[in-house]
């Protein structure tokens, strides 16, 4: 029986075209997949930075509330002293009008002691009211100065907002190897430039 041979005509170019098409399909799929992964990481990174900024704002809001509470406590004490001093002065003046006419004039030294005590009490009451008023006013001024100059919330600047952004150019500049990187579930796959660096995390600090 004669030996027969089968020749595949044009099989080489067809295999080459098929391989090229398969490689192009893999490249397009890998590019879209890695682009989606980059967009997901960029979104998570932006949320993380915004959350950290919100936490810092809340922390400084607590600081401002603490400052208000401390100064309100001082102001409340000063107001209490003003009320007590005013009542003291009122009672002493009323005691003068009511009791002075009935106070015995003999011996004279007793009247002198009584006058010294009464006017000393009036002076003490007026000074206490004046100091309490001054203390309350100074406390309000100091609280306003601290809240407007020292304890200011760290509002993010335009540069901070811009630093949290990720654009298409960042992905395209990350390198060709990141375009065709296999998924992390594939054995032996390495996570490269698409993984966010933990050094970019901003820690909330006092």
**Does position 204 have pLDDT exceeding 60, yes or no?**
no
User: Does 61 fall in a domain?
Assistant: yes
> Is the N-terminal amide bond of 107 cis, ω within 30° of 0?
yes
Residue 24 structural domain = 20-193
Q: Quote the CA–CA distance of 20 and 28 in Å, as a whole number.
A: 12
> For residue 173, which phi and psi values (nearest 5 degrees)?
-90, 0
pTM of the model: 0.59
pLDDT digits (tens, 9 = 90+) for 156-168: 888 888 888 777 7
User: Does 11 fall in a domain?
Assistant: no
**According to the model, what pLDDT value does residue 9 have?**
47
pLDDT category, 206, cuts 50, 70, 90? very low
- pLDDT mean over 32-44: 83
- Give the angle subtended at the CA of 186 by the CAs of 184 and 188, to the nearest 5°: 90
User: Does 138 fall in a domain?
Assistant: yes
User: Does 5 fall in a domain?
Assistant: no
Domain count, the chain: 1
Average pLDDT of every residue of the chain: 78
User: Does 146 fall in a domain?
Assistant: yes
């Amino acid at each position: 029986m004669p030996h027969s041979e089968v020749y595949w005509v044009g099989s080489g170019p067809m295999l080459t075209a098929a391989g090229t098409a398969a490689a192009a399909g893999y490249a397009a799929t890998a590019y879209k997949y890695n682009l989606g992964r980059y967009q997901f990481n960029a979104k998570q990174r932006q949320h993380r930075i915004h959350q950290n900024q919100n936490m810092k704002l809340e922390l400084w809001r607590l600081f401002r509330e603490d400052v208000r509470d401390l100064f309100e406590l001082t102001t409340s004490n000063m107001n209490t002293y003003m009320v007590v001093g005013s009542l003291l002065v009122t009672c002493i003046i009323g005691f003068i009008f009511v009791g002075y006419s009935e106070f015995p004039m003999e011996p004279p030294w007793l009247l002198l002691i009584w006058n010294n005590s009464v006017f000393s009490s009036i002076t003490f009451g007026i000074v206490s009211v004046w100091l309490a008023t001054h203390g309350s006013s100074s406390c309000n001024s100091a609280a306003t100065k601290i809240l407007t100059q020292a304890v200011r919330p760290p509002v993010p600047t335009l540069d901070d907002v811009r630093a949290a952004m990720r654009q298409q150019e960042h992905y395209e500049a990350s390198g060709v190897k990141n375009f065709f990187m296999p998924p992390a579930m594939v054995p032996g796959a390495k996570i490269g430039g698409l993984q966010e660096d933990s050094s970019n995390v901003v820690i909330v600090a006092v």
